[in-house]
Amino acid sequence: MDLADELITWLRSKTSLLALISEACNKLEGNIPSSVIRAVITRWTAHYLAYDRLIILYPALTMVVGDDISRIRAKLSSKVITGNAAAKAKAERMVNTITSEEFWKSLAM
């Protein structure tokens, strides 16, 4: 779950990415909440709710990442993988996490 916590922290630190997630949630049917919840270390229920919200956001996250991958393939600038070299490396790791079926399966268990 350390990877899920890292993903949540990274998502919450990127306001432009949160805006993209919000837009994606608005496009999807079903009134998907767009906020990313961070767990409070002393409350185990908060961890459950944070991971559950991440699972709920899965369609929006994959939509945002998929759109960004399409932009990169079309030789347009990325909206997700931005910043200096260290920030880009972290963003690439987080994109790989979002696109990892194993990550989502482990989170759902």
pLDDT, block means (10 residues), the chain with 109 residues = 93 95 90 86 84 95 96 95 96 97 93
Q: What is the pLDDT of residue 6?
A: 96
Query: pTM of this prediction?
Result: 0.89
pLDDT of residue 30: 75
What count of Cα atoms within 13 Å lies in the side-chain half-sphere of residue 109? 7
Residue 71 sits at φ, ψ, to 5 deg, of: -60, -45
Q: Which range of residues forms the domain containing residue 100?
A: 2-108
Two tokens, residue 34? 């767009």
Question: Structurally, how many domains does the chain consist of?
Answer: 1
pLDDT in the model for residue 1: 78
Q: Three-class SS of residue 37?
A: coil
